[in-house]
A and B are shown apart, each in its own frame.
Chain A
Amino acid sequence: MRELIRKLTGAFGPSGAEEPIRKVIRAEIEPLADEIRVDPLGSLIARKQCGDGKRILLDAHMDEIGVMVTYVDEKGFARFTRIGGVYTLNHVGGRVAFADGTVGVIGIEGKRKDPNKVPKFEQLYLDVGATSRDDCPVGVGDPAVFVRPFETQGTRLISKAMDDRIGCAVLIETLRRLEQTDHDVHFVFAVQEEVGMRGAHTATYGIDPDMAIAVDVTTTGDTPEARPMAVELGKGPAIKIKDAGMIAHPAVRDLMIQQAKKAEIPYQLEVLERGTTDAAAMQLVRAGVPSGCLSVPCRYVHTPSEMVDEQDVENSVQLLLEVLQAA
């Protein structure tokens, strides 16, 4: 799966501009699905209809956080705003890339009252090598993503956009290995999660599922002086109990727990105090959808160096396959 993960994390796809990543995923799943479509907001939906049982929705979002140019000054420096949860501390001195490959260095204003204080986001700018507004290759409204090379260290995988290309990888691999189930399974690669779970909301309306599971990353509590949290890297996929946006449906949660126990797949339970996933949007669609979330533990979420453990990824696929058999 390493090659797949490298390919997925390397693709461009900030919220609202997911065309390139959609193309990459589409090429992967084209031979695997019975039916593929793109919904009105751009979410990619692959269907595998094995039987007439339940309509099951599996979701991972394909968008990533990024920035968007808001203003180009006389000297050709670009100011920018956030796409999703972007924080100053993670990005000074980093780089972004635009869809056409243009690279920008994230600089910071020099005149700051207290250089030891975390600067305001508005004090950052992009240097794309321009010398004036006229020769600046980027303009207002152009989106860009953070870049950093994909690396592996033992079983740890490090990249930008693990959130949530790792979920996309889990879904693709699950689809690849899914041979038989009694159900009508819809694999949703959703747009615009990072700006408010928008793609999952509308895709779920379209599919009208009997059950939905989001696959996304979650933070961990296993790093120095981390905020207390029971989830650790490498200890198995985390079955969500609750987060800041949703309480997992007990039946969906328990189904995952039972199948993990039965198949002896390591797992952890997750209570996330900050942040949420597509499952929060999905469970409130139409008359309500029993929804849960399977999380891949991930360190340094929303930095350009998000780290996951390969074994957790593999176990996530195993668990989803078990769940699809048992549901």
Chain B
Amino acid sequence: MILEKLSNAIGISGDEGDVRAVVLEAIQEHVDEFKVDTLGNLLAFKRGTGRNRLRVMLAAHMDEVGLMVVDHDKDGFLQARTVGGIDPRLLPGALFHVGPERIPGVVGVKPIHLLKEGEGEKVSKIESLAVDIGAKSKDEAKKLAPLGTYAAFATQFRELGTTVSGKAFDDRAGCAVLVELLRGERFRFDLHAAFTVQEEVGLRGAQVAAYAIEPDCAFALEGTIADDTPKEKEGSPTTELGQGPAITVMDRSVISDRRLVRLLTGAADELDIPYQFKQPGIGGTDAGAIHLAREGVPAVTVAVPCRYIHGPAALLSLKDFDNTVRLMRESLSRLTRRTLKL
């Protein structure tokens, strides 16, 4: 499973090289051209079979959230800061892989035996936490993990029946969907695949990729929030596991193009592919940067629902994954210039 390899690879925003290598290996034989752009995006091209071909951009971001070492204290502990959004409640006690050698590191935490009353109810900010890699001095810590070293959640991909768990499903799930689409038959249009960098720190890679590609329309492929776990009060689950791919209508970064939303729901209804709308108003994706490129690009986001994203272990349903690939393939097969007519 390509998702396993992608999930296990480490690629925190700004250092996506290892993920890029995994992607490249997986798609190289299935594309006509590829290049790595100035910021590190992997741009692949697969020519279409039609005439007067549309330029269609499919984007998935390679980067994941993580930590960066910013200081070393005299006893050899590492001070770190988050790269991208990580809930501080998830940090104490978490195991990380530090640096390219994957040195194991634990985010230090006071044992429960020593907590004063009420102390356990407070959330520690990252400024008051330290990553312990077993170094005994400042010099040793500096040698093992110099300033700027990245650290990623140390989680191995696992299969749990029809669901799988692993780190970085946001957005290796999207990367895996895009790999599957590239491995399949050619479409009528020219497919411009963009495996982008630095989404988690501000949709940066996608912005320059969309400028370079100049697409007629774009699809951002994502792993998105599923909040379908038990709640005190009835409310939106954002998305639900097992209910099919999640189509974004509106989030903080984009209002999806209604023609593309109709294309997707039309194909899904016709073929009985389950789908859901992601709770509007939440989050943001590469589509936010892409749709503002140059004269504007009709764009939409389609995502695999994932529980516990931006944490050490996310969970997704393989059925949703397969349905996302299928919905994308079927929708894209129906995409013509008429789809974009107003």
- Residues on A close to B: CB < 8 A? 15-17, 19, 38-43, 68-71, 73-74, 79, 81-83, 139-141, 143, 192, 195, 198-199, 201-203, 205-206
Contacts and interface: CB of A to CB of B under 8 A. Distances in A.
Contacts of B216: 40
Contact of A70 (B255, B256, B280): B280
B342 A38 contact: yes
Contacts of B255: 15-16, 83, 192, 195
Contacts of B236: 70-71, 79, 140
Nearest to A42: B342
Contact of A83 (B250, B261, B298): B250
18 contacts: A16-B255, A19-B258, A19-B342, A40-B216, A40-B297, A41-B296, A41-B297, A68-B281, A71-B236, A73-B234, A79-B235, A82-B281, A140-B236, A140-B277, A143-B250, A198-B296, A199-B296, A206-B294
Nearest to A77: B234
Given A17-B258, A141-B250, A40 B295 contact: yes
B296 A40 contact: yes
Contacts of B258: 16-17, 19
A39 B295 contact: yes
B56 to A, nearest CB: 13
- Interface residue range, chain B: 20 to 34
B97 interface: no
Nearest to A281: B292
Interface string B279-292: 11100000000011
Contact of B295 (A70, A143, A205): A205
B177 interface: no
A276 B235 CA distance: 34
A40 B296 CA distance: 6
Contacts, number: 81
B280 A68 contact: yes
Interface of B: 216, 234-236, 249-250, 255-258, 261, 276-277, 279-281, 291-292, 294-298, 340, 342
B236 to A, nearest CB: 4
A42 B255 CA distance: 12
A81 B278 CA distance: 13
Contacts of B280: 68-70, 81, 140-141
B254 to A, nearest CB: 8
B298 A41 contact: yes
Interface centre among B216, B234, B261 (most CB of A within 10 A): B234
A139 B279 CA distance: 11
A198 B277 CA distance: 23
Contacts of A201: 292, 296
A70 B248 CA distance: 11
Given A74-B234, A79-B236, A141-B250, 5 more contacts: A16-B258, A82-B281, A140-B249, A202-B292, A203-B296
Contacts of B281: 68, 70, 81-82
B196 to A, nearest CB: 20
Contacts of A140: 236, 249, 276-277, 279-280
Given A71-B236, A71-B279, A79-B235, A16 B250 contact: yes
A87 to B, nearest CB: 15
Interface centre among A15, A19, A202 (most CB of B within 10 A): A202
A143 B235 CA distance: 19
Given A70-B281, A140-B277, A140-B279, A206 B295 contact: yes
B200 to A, nearest CB: 20
A69 B250 CA distance: 10
Contacts of B249: 68, 140-141
A19 B341 CA distance: 12
Contact of B296 (A71, A195, A202): A202
Nearest to B215: A40
A205 B293 CA distance: 9
A300 B255 CA distance: 26
A91 B235 CA distance: 21
Nearest to B236: A71
Given A41-B291, A140-B280, A206-B295, A71 B250 contact: no
A42 B251 CA distance: 18
Contacts of A38: 342
A195 B253 CA distance: 9
Contacts of A19: 258, 342
A16 to B, nearest CB: 3
Nearest to B234: A73
